[in-house]
Amino acid sequence: MRTRILFLPLILAALLTVQSCCIFKPVNLGGPITSESQSINSQEYWEPVIALTKTSIRGSESWQDPIGFQAGADYPVAFIGSSLCLRAGALVSFQGAAWEYPDLEGRVNLWYVYVPVVMRYQHKSGFYGAAGLQPGFLLSAKDKYEETTDNYMSHMNKFDLSIPLIIGYSFKNRIGVNLRVIPGITDITQDEDEKDVNFVMGIGATYSFGLK
């Protein structure tokens, strides 16, 4: 709870600061994305993303699992010149980790909704990089083992904060690909003796478009 109180006003203050010093540009609503401009201005558009991820929970005991995914979209909020852009969006993430003990094994399944806010730099060649903050809220937590599924919400903190780091490339046909590494920085469990954080990395595919 204390982490949520500290970080949410910080994010709001950052957005207000950017609003006061940056140039806002309207999104192209339904206009064509030309081959000449796509690699330079793809970030002027809505950008849905689907990513296949590898997720883990890191702490006193590190657990990992090869399967996870994310789906969502982001939107340009403010521009600083022609290359820098503040983007905000929403993302649903399925993550967690498999665990194993000598006589038992199972998996913790976690569903989060995140609100990533990133600053993105895009080069005219099509390559881009982005970094920011990603506050999130836990929707579901299940611990599955043998034929049993336990609701694990009472053991978890509902708020999570992570740092999205993204590099990618926008093609001229509106399609893009990216590599994302998202380390968590807040404790996801209510165990006061140990600190466990989320860690997600994956490959994403995007498609830029304007809304009519």
Cα 157 from Cα 195, distance rounded (Å): 11
* 3-class DSSP assignment, residue 206: strand
pTM of the complete model: 0.79
Residue 110's contacts (CB-CB under 8 Å, 6 or more residues apart) are 94, 95, 96, 138, 140, 141, 156, 188, 198
Contacts 24+ apart (CB under 8 A), 151-155: 152/108, 154/190, 155/189, 155/190, 155/191
DSSP secondary structure code for residue 45 in this structure: S
Which pLDDT score is estimated for 23? 43
pLDDT, tens digit, for every residue of 82-92?
889 999 999 99
Here the tokens at position 147 are 């034929």
Residues of the chain with pLDDT under 50: 1-40, 212
Instruction: Please check whether residue 47 is in contact with residue 74, taking contact to mean a CB–CB distance below 8 angstroms.
Output: yes
| Domains of the chain from N-terminus onward | 2-207 (2.40.160.20)
Which pLDDT score is estimated for 119? 97
